[in-house]
Amino acid sequence: MNVKKTISVLLMAAAFVSITGVADAALKDFKEGTEKSGSTRDRSSKKSAGGDNGCMGEAMDFCLGIAGALWISHNLSLYYSSYPYEKTGPPQFIYHLSGEKEEEAPGILEKKISPGGDIDVDELSSGKNGRAAAPGFDHTWYLNIDMGGQYTRDSGSGGFVGLSGKIFRLLGPECEFKRMVDNGDRLDYLAAGVNISLFQFNYFSTDFYLQYAGMKGVVDLSGYAYGLIVHSYPFKPVHILLRIGMQSYTEKEAEDIYREIDFLDLEGRVGVMIYRCEIFAGYRHVETDHAELGGPIGGVRIWF
């Protein structure tokens, strides 16, 4: 591990250690509000198939339909650099092979033929179907790990770690673990699943994500999370991340009687790239009918 990676790992560890164990009265309010939230449904009745759940199902089907129509034709024609802004000038992170430019590949032909007339294979950067890609943009995957903390009202805090990225351009892992603390009480949140590329451009890149989600501690809930994550690389060294999503849980109250609770999940971040290390700050907010939990966040993300 080189010096830059070592420093990045130490920054991540320091961020995680610094945000543990601070009391937060808001956590008890979150517990009480969650217990009042949601709607009760009788699954023994055929009528329980309707209502708000049907609307959410239609929204999910719509998002998945868009992803299925666009992801192969669009996403298989792109490449990544090792990390955002590794190369000077545009493209910032994502390079697209497109139309006639793929076939002509200006500037590549001169590099592949040496003054003696021999082909210098080492200087040739080729893309899909043998068409030329920009030098340095030859990755079809990337991963990043982030670690940081969140502060809520009344001087409360919590810590989180996350893993995300892309595998073969089309999809990748989207995982998160968060712990909020309130003296002897705690609330753990775990979400693990995948993100699916809808479309990817340097200025506006959108993923649909679907995860198993669970809360444990002051409340015990199990369900799933879904939504959209938008990335933008507008200019060096800035990275912007936006999330709009839902967390949907079902809790059994009696035989065939279940309570359904839906949380709105909103997040915004602005990060600054320093080689493979991104220092970010932002805001994360989760709310339902009678409960909410949110506050500023900050941390470090490492790109691999």
Which pLDDT tens digit goes with each residue over 13-58? 444 444 443 334 567 777 777 767 766 665 554 444 444 556 677 7
Express each pLDDT in 55-89 by its tens digit.
Answer: 677 777 777 776 566 667 778 889 999 999 998 87
Query: Which residues touch 278 (CB under 8 Å, ≥6 apart)?
Result: 84, 144, 146, 239, 271, 272, 300, 301, 302, 303
Quote the CA–CA distance of 30 and 186 in Å, as a whole number: 11
Q: Are 158 and 149 in contact (CB under 8 A)?
A: yes
Closest CA to 145 of 303, 11, 271: 303
Phi then psi dihedrals of residue 71, to 5 deg: -65, -35
Beta-bridged to residue 88, according to DSSP, are none
Quote the CA–CA distance of 80 and 92 in Å, as a whole number: 9
Q: Are 227 and 266 in contact (CB under 8 A)?
A: no
Query: Which residues touch 286 (CB under 8 Å, ≥6 apart)?
Result: 247, 263, 264, 265, 266, 292, 293, 294
The pLDDT score that the predictor gives to residue 54 is: 64
Token pair recorded at residue 110: 């001169």
Give the 3-state secondary structure of residue 102. helix
Query: What are the start and end residues of each CATH 2.40.160 domain in the chain?
Result: 3-72+140-303
User: Which residue's structure tokens are 């900050």?
Assistant: 298
Q: Are 27 and 180 in contact (CB under 8 A)?
A: yes
Instruction: Give the CATH fold of the 3-72+140-303 domain.
Output: Porin (2.40.160)
Task: Please list the ranges in the chain whose pLDDT falls under 50.
Answer: 1, 3, 6-10, 13-24, 45-51, 99-114, 117-131
Going by their DSSP bridges, the two strands 221-232 and 238-254 should be labelled as: antiparallel
Whole-structure pTM value: 0.73
The pLDDT score that the predictor gives to residue 213 is: 97
Quote the CA–CA distance of 188 and 190 in Å, as a whole number: 7
The pLDDT score that the predictor gives to residue 110 is: 38
Encoded amino acid at 19, one letter: I
Quote the CA–CA distance of 289 and 249 in Å, as a whole number: 13
